[in-house]
Every structure is written in C-alpha cells, then in structure tokens.
Amino acid sequence: MTRTPTEWEKIEAEAHDRVYEGSWPFFCRDYRIDAAAVLRWQDYCYKPGTREDNRGHRTRRLFEMMDIDDLQNKNVLDVGCGNGQYAVLFALLGANVCGFDLSPIGVAIGKRVAEVNGVSDLCRLSVQSASAMAYPDAIFDVVVFHEALHHVIKYPNVHEETLRVLKPGGIVVCAETLRGNWLLDLGRKITMRSEESKGDVILELKDIEQFARGYSKCEIEPMSLLFMLKRVVQNRKRNLAVRGVLYALKRADDALFAAFPKLKAYAGECVIRLTK
C-alpha cells in the first residue's frame, strides 16, 4: 500500500509514542544523566559494562565523527530526538541544542530530562517534521541523525531542509544499518518486518549517496560483516564465552576489511559524515 507523508507521520508518531511512553534516558532508572558514564557505555557490546543491545559501537563512532569532546558553544540539531537523551547529553557537554521528533510523548519526556539535568536553557525540544524545520537558515554546526535517517529519508524536502539549516562548513553525522549483503538482508527482512510497516527503510549505499548530494565531502564508514552475528546472541552478551566470540568476529572483520576493502560493500552497518 502506498501511503502519503501525512499518513506515515501519523503512523510513526503513534508507534514512537508507544516506544517512549514511560521511558528513561539510556540505561538509567532516573532522569538524571551521567555524561561520562554514557560515553563509556557506548561501545562494542563484547566489552564489560557496555551497552548490550549491539549498537553501542556505531554510536561511539558517530560521537567521534562529530568530535563530541569539542561541543562547547556549538549549535547542534538532533533530528528524531526521541525521549531527548542524546540532545540532553550534548547540552551537558556544552552545546546549544535543538531537537525534534514526531512523538509528543517522547518530546515531553525529553523536556523533563532536560529540566532535571539543569539544561533546559541549552536544550530546546519540539514536535515537528523533518520536511519543514522551524529553524533559520545556516544556524547549526552539527546535525545528528542518530539511527533516524532510515525514518526520515522517505519524506519530501528532508535533504533540502538539512542543507538549509546547516552552516557552511558544518557537518551531518548519521549512524545506520545497511542493505547489501543478501544473507544479512534475509535475516533483517524477518526481524524487521513489523518495523518496516511502521515506516523503517533499510538503507542502501546509493540512498546515502543520493542524500549526500550538495555536500562538499561525503565520508561513509562501513562497519560489521561477520560481527553482524551479534544479532543471533542478542540476549546473551553477559556470557564471557559469547563476548569472546564477538571480539574474535570484530577482529576478523578488521583483518578482512584491511585485506579485501571491497568487502566493505557487504557490511551491515555504517556511520556517515557529510560536510557542507
């Protein structure tokens, strides 16, 4: 069934409201965020004390690409901010942050998180669409699509709006999954079937390259080939043997990508940096 952008927005807003209802920032059971702990937590899931859901490593790389240690006084936009956890984190690190999401529930929680962490003056969250951003031209130093590009890329004008609000020399950073490896695609097709019905798009490199038009520089860093087997052991990351296997798979990927760079075309994840 072909849906209009308005229909998709309604579907995604309702789905994300259900996701964010009663949610907490990061691994906490409190609204307060420990920025240093979060930065340690975002890493490969085979490391003790890190995020267990197998996506922390690409978030860590996104942080490195946006130079998260140098956010003081920078204007940052968090597209698809959800419950505001990353927007508040960036504000705690000194950035002036705007964030938006289609989910009123997520944005309401995000405002509460910003208030509890004392950064309401640095973190302005709102409900709006990426198709028509309510910001002036050339205002942001960094635009972040943290696992959000696969949601918004199907909407009209998102490419144009992102370019419009980004300063000359500013950057866009994204962390995403990728389509390209038939075996990974088969597993993802099964596991993401319900998510695709909510508007998720599994991106291909050509989609990213299309989104990157108009930028002076496009850097795409593919990640995870054999390491994508982490999905099979999603709920057993605390087992030392499992963590050892995951570490070995990561090292094998490093060796394979170094010896055969063309294998990167079959990676299951990527991080992206676009420079205006």
d(CA 259, CA 251): 12
Half-sphere exposure of 1 (CA within 13 A, CB side): 9
For 272, residues 6+ apart whose C-beta sits below 8 A from its C-beta are 149, 172, 173, 174, 175, 176, 208, 212, 218, 219, 220, 221
Whether residue 189 contacts residue 164, with contact meaning beta carbons closer than 8 Å, is answered with no
Beta bridge partners of 78: 99, 144
User: In this predicted structure, what is the pLDDT of residue 61?
Assistant: 97
CATH architecture of 5-224+269-275: 3-Layer(aba) Sandwich (3.40)
Question: First CA to last CA across the chain, in angstroms?
Answer: 36
DSSP string, 232-264: GGTT-TTSHHHHHHHHHHHHHHHHHHHH-GGGG
Whether residue 213 contacts residue 260, with contact meaning beta carbons closer than 8 Å, is answered with no
Map tokens 């943290």 to a residue: 146
Could you give the dihedral angle defined by the CA atoms of residues 246, 184, 52 and 58, in that order, rounded to the nearest 10 degrees? 90
pLDDT tens for each residue of the chain, 276 residues long: 678 889 889 999 999 999 999 999 997 889 999 999 999 999 999 998 898 888 999 999 999 999 999 999 999 999 999 999 999 999 999 999 999 999 999 999 999 999 999 999 999 999 999 999 999 999 999 999 999 999 999 999 999 999 999 999 999 999 998 876 656 666 656 555 555 445 677 788 889 999 999 999 999 999 999 998 888 777 777 788 999 999 999 999 999 999 999 999 889 999 999 999
User: In this predicted structure, what is the pLDDT of residue 41?
Assistant: 94
For 229, residues 6+ apart whose C-beta sits below 8 A from its C-beta are 246, 249
What token pair was written down for 95?
A: 């950035």
H-type helices in the chain, by residue range?
5-20, 35-41, 56-65, 85-92, 104-116, 149-152, 158-165, 182-191, 193-196, 205-211, 240-259
Map tokens 């996104």 to a residue: 62
What token pair was written down for 107?
A: 């944005």
Residues in the chain: 276
Stated pTM of the model: 0.92
Whether residue 95 contacts residue 77, with contact meaning beta carbons closer than 8 Å, is answered with no
Map tokens 């004008």 to a residue: 157
d(CA 115, CA 184): 41
Parallel, antiparallel, or unpaired for β 166-177 and 140-146? parallel
Q: Where are the domains of the chain?
A: 5-224+269-275
What token pair was written down for 159?
A: 């490419």
User: In this predicted structure, what is the pLDDT of residue 28?
Assistant: 83
For 104, residues 6+ apart whose C-beta sits below 8 A from its C-beta are 13, 17, 127
For 257, residues 6+ apart whose C-beta sits below 8 A from its C-beta are 222, 225, 263, 264
Amino acid at 81: C
